[in-house]
Amino acid sequence: MSENKGADTKQVKVKSDEVLRQELGEEGYQIVREKGTERAFSGKYWNEKAPGVYRCSVCNNPLFSSETKYDSGSGWPSYWEPVEQDKVITESDHSHGMVRTEVLCSHCKAHLGHVFPDGPQPTGLRYCINSASLQLDEEKGE
C-alpha cells in the first residue's frame, strides 16, 4: 500500500469553517477537519445496505461504491477499494501512539478514516471510513 499524496491536483473551492460547521454539525466538522473518529456502530452508514455511491460530505467527490462495501465487523462503513484510485489519497498517521494510514478526499483533503491491510480479496484492504465524512447518493430503482 503506497502513499499517493499528489494523486489529484484539481483546485477545489474550500468551504469556510463556519459553513462546514453549519452543514456538518460539530461532530462532522471535528471528523473531517480535525481528524476525529466517530464511535463504532454510531454512524449513519455503518450498517447501510442501499445501493449507490458514497460521496465526500464536504465537496461531493465520489469516493466509494456500495458494490465494494462489506461488513467488516468494525462498526464503521468499510470498503475494499475506492471508486477510482485518484479519488482518495493516503498519508502516514502517527497519532495516538499508533502507526496507521490515513485516508483523505483527494479533492478537498477532508479526513475520511484509515485503510488497513486486513480486508477481503481482491485487494486485501479495508478502508474504514467515518459516516460523517460521507453522503450516500442512492441509486434509484426503475
What type of residue is 49?
K
What amino acid positions are annotated as catalytic residues?
Answer: 128
DSSP the chain: ----TTS-----PPPPHHHHHHHHHHHHHHHHHH---PPTT-STTTT----EEEEETTT--EEEEGGGEE--SSSS-EESS-SSGGGEEEEEE-GGG--EEEEEETTT--EEEEEES---TTTT-EEEE-GGGEEEEEPPP-
Give the type of residue at 35. Answer: K
C-alpha cell at 6: 499528489
